[in-house]
Amino acid sequence: SQQGEEDPQALSIQEGENATMNCSYKTSINNLQWYRQNSGRGLVHLILIRSNEREKHSGRLRVTLDTSKKSSSLLITASRAADTASYFCATAAQGGSEKLVFGKGMKLTVNP
Amino acid sequence: EADIYQTPRYLVIGTGKKITLECSQTMGHDKMYWYQQDPGMELHLIHYSYGVNSTEKGDLSSESTVSRIRTEHFPLTLESARPSHTSQYLCASSPAMNTEAFFGQGTRLTVV
């Protein structure tokens, strides 16, 4: 079964609002990553947070990680119509696994 | 844009045909991955490779096979395509364990 589960599955907001997406996972991780996918395209890496980090920022993105709850959140501030896409979390397991396992994804729609 | 390329972008073939999906990267990455993506977005890891002459099956059982004879090339082959193979196939690479992955644009395969 997949490692990560994004929540909510779909989110529709107005331009300028903040969007928060949550990800839960099951096993111990080395790091957690967030990716974005525009319709019909490949995934693009957004941000990586290591297991010993609690928060990370990149531009309008803020990621938090709570390893005790095995969860992460991605916050997009001041959203734009161009942020409309699907967002995925992915985990790299602790212990040397080469695998990067993705969650089911969440569809964000930002209305102009 | 990442230097990882998949061909073809779209393919419609008849049942029983043999096909090879191409994936090439010019970044010298050792790690490469194949994911199958449902219409409902979920990504499933079907194959991965640590480097030349190493391949491993992923979490989702697949009738496809892969090879890694050269660092830059990771083709995926279906010996006899079936309608159940209809899906989006995404190839990715990463420079090392526990780092970000770079994705190709994907191949959308339809088997009729």
What is the pLDDT, as a whole number, of residue A1? 37
A42, B104: Cβ pair inside 8 Å? Answer: yes
Within the 49-78 window of chain A, which residues sit less than 8 Å (CB to CB) from chain B?
Answer: none
Q: Does B42 touch chain A (CB under 8 A)?
A: yes
B18 in Cβ contact with B109 (< 8 Å): no
Set of chain A residues whose Cβ sits within 8 Å of the Cβ of B101: 33, 43, 45, 90, 100
B105, A42: Cβ pair inside 8 Å? Answer: yes
Within the 50-89 window of chain B, which residues sit less than 8 Å (CB to CB) from chain A?
Answer: 50, 56, 58-59
B41, A31: Cβ pair inside 8 Å? Answer: no
Say yes or no to pLDDT of A97 above 70.
no
Indicate the range of A34-38, A77-81, B23-27, B55-59 predicted with least confidence: B55-59
- Digit-coded pLDDT (tens) for B8-66: 999 999 999 999 999 999 999 999 999 999 877 889 999 999 999 999 998 887 889 99
Q: Does B90 touch chain A (CB under 8 A)?
A: yes
Burial B85-103 (b: 16+ CB within 10 A, else e): bebbbbbbbbeeebbbbbb
Which of the residues A88, A98, A101, A107 would you substitute to probe the B interface, choosing the one with the greatest number of B C-beta atoms within 10 Å?
A98
Closest alpha carbon to A72 in A94, A56, A93: A56
| CB-based burial label for B67 (10 Å; 0-12, 13-18, 19+) | middle
Indicate the range of A100-104, A107-111, B34-38, B99-103 predicted with least confidence: A100-104
* B106: CB partners within 8 A, 6+ apart: A40, A41, A42, B6, B9, B37, B88, B89, B90, B91
Q: Which two tokens stand for residue A103?
A: 């969650």
Between CA A107 and CA B13 the distance in angstroms is 30
Burial A8-29 (b: 16+ CB within 10 A, else e): eeebebeeeeebebebbbeeeb
Q: What integer is the mean pLDDT of A40-64?
A: 95
Q: Does A44 touch chain B (CB under 8 A)?
A: yes
What is the pLDDT, as a whole number, of residue A3? 57
Q: Which two tokens stand for residue A85?
A: 């896409």
Say yes or no to pLDDT of B102 above 60.
yes
What is the pLDDT, as a whole number, of residue B42? 86
Indicate the range of A100-104, B14-18, B44-48, B83-87 predicted with least confidence: A100-104
From A98's Cα to the closest Cα of chain B, the distance in A is 6
Q: Which two tokens stand for residue B71?
A: 């660092």
